[in-house]
Amino acid sequence: ITAAPPYVLQWNDKSGNGETLASPSSYTPAFLSSGINGLGSLQFSGNQYLLSNDASFSRLLLPASTVFIVQNAANLTQASTSFFSQSGSLRYNMHLPWQSWVYLDFGDIGGNRISVSTGSAPVVGSHIFTAVGTEGGNRILNDDGATIASGSLPNTGETFSCPVSIAVGQTCGNGFGSYFTGTIGEVIVYNAALSQASYQTIEGALACKW
């Protein structure tokens, strides 16, 4: 973190696996000491993002993964991506929110999407989102511990050819036009589909913390 204004140039991976997120450009998010319920978080204003230093990060997400993200979205007027890994139409994508929808792409953009309508307005305010799934198996998308979308979708066989980085705050930082506006406090990634008991334990811990 730089001196005032407190821009974040790098977000280190606490797991020890070296999956660092860093700013590849001058579009760096700002650090807010009380961004989400009095706790420190990163503020994204529409074109800031952090990109993984690992060009094949998606190997951790496919064919099985569990992802938790703590965010506080602003009132949005455009598509907003919280967590994104993509290469053409092949992607792992937690899109939260998107106009009046939230969805999880797991593999290809069309046949492997689970989604839910949130009504006429985007999902705003503080939320803990959880995505659990396997390629060709069941996927769930939770909002604050409650399942809002689920489904068992086919195995396309394409996701393994998706060796790309992860971007937080923008669609891989490559100009696809989807951005996040708001604050992000924490991201946890497991390269396995956790059991219900396990992911509920983590959701509970995150809820107590945030």
Predicted confidence at residue 155, as pLDDT, reads 57
CA distances from 1 to 28, 35, 125, 170, 181 (A): 10, 15, 25, 20, 20
Predicted confidence at residue 159, as pLDDT, reads 45
pLDDT band at 146 (very low <50, low <70, confident <90, very high): very high
**R_g over Cα of the chain:** 16
Task: List, for residues 77-112, the tens digit of each pLDDT value.
Answer: 555 566 666 655 566 777 766 666 777 777 655 556
Burial class of residue 59 in the structure, from the number of CB atoms within 10 Å of its CB (0-12 exposed, 13-18 middle, 19+ buried)? middle
Residues 6+ apart with CB under 8 A from 127: 70, 71, 72, 73, 96, 143, 144
Q: What span, in angstroms and rounded, lies between the C-alpha atoms of 199 and 179?
A: 27
- CB of 72 closer than 8 Å to CB of 36: yes
Task: List, for residues 167-192, the tens digit of each pLDDT value.
Answer: 787 755 444 556 778 899 999 999 89
Average pLDDT, stretch 137-141? 86
Average pLDDT, stretch 149-157? 69
199 DSSP 8-state letter: H
Query: Which amino acid, one-letter code, is at 8?
Result: V
Q: What span, in angstroms and rounded, lies between the C-alpha atoms of 54 and 191?
A: 15
Closest to 11 in 3D by CA, of 19, 3, 20: 20
209 DSSP 8-state letter: H
Task: List, for residues 13-67, the tens digit of each pLDDT value.
Answer: 998 888 888 887 777 899 999 889 999 999 987 778 888 888 777 777 777 889 9
179 DSSP 8-state letter: B
Task: List, for residues 115-127, the tens digit of each pLDDT value.
Answer: 777 766 667 789 9
Write down the pTM of the prediction. Answer: 0.87
Q: Please work out, in degrees rounded to the nearest 5, the angle formed at the alpha carbon of residue 52 by the alpha carbons of 84 and 70.
A: 55
